[in-house]
């Protein structure tokens, strides 16, 4: 798990890196705890669809570029398929987020008491 901070909003996120983890996402779960999420990590930016197959609850998805800048925020519902018109490298699946403006940058740490940055493949802005 990593800790993400975007503006005043902080949450813990599991990582989805493998092809299987990226395809599965949050599918087949009954719920998602408050202030938690799943961070999807692509090897490079691309226009990859998000499918809500086998989802049991709606989610908010924050899309980031390779610099971890927020590109877009979407509300997705069970059974929906979202095909983005933009390229993204990271996406945070969560629920109940406050308003997050685009162009905000996320900060990532390995945990709440960690002083080191995560080793995620990100570029410094």
62-113 tens-digit pLDDT: 999 999 999 999 999 999 999 999 999 999 999 988 888 889 999 999 754 4
C-beta separation of 3 from 28 below 8 A: no
Report the C-alpha gap between 95 and 3 in whole angstroms: 16
Instruction: Residues 2-109: name the CATH superfamily.
Output: Protein of unknown function DUF192 (2.60.120.1140)
The model's pTM: 0.86
Pinpoint the alpha helices (H) of the chain: 19-24
Q: Give all strands (DSSP E) within the chain, no chain letters.
A: 2-6, 9-16, 36-46, 50-51, 59-64, 70-76, 81-82, 88-94, 106-109
Predicted local distance difference test score (pLDDT) of residue 122: 47
Categorize the per-residue pLDDT at 120 as very low, low, confident or very high, splitting at 50, 70 and 90: low
Beta bridge partners of 4: 11, 108
Domain parsing of the chain, residue ranges: 2-109
- Does the pLDDT at position 8 exceed 80? yes
Q: How confident is the model at residue 61 (pLDDT cuts 50, 70, 90)?
A: very high
């Amino acid at each position: 798990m990593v800790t993400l901070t975007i503006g005043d909003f902080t949450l813990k996120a599991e990582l989805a890196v493998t092809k299987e983890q990226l395809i599965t996402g949050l599918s087949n779960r009954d719920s998602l705890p408050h202030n938690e999420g799943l961070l999807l990590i692509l090897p490079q930016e691309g226009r990859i669809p998000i499918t809500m197959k086998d989802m049991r609850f709606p989610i908010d998805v924050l899309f980031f570029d390779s610099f971890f800048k927020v590109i877009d925020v979407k509300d997705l519902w069970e059974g929906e398929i979202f095909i983005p018109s933009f390229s993204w490298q990271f996406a945070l699946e969560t629920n109940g987020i406050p308003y997050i403006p685009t162009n905000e940058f996320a900060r990532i740490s390995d945990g709440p008491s960690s002083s080191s940055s995560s080793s995620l493949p990100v570029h410094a802005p």
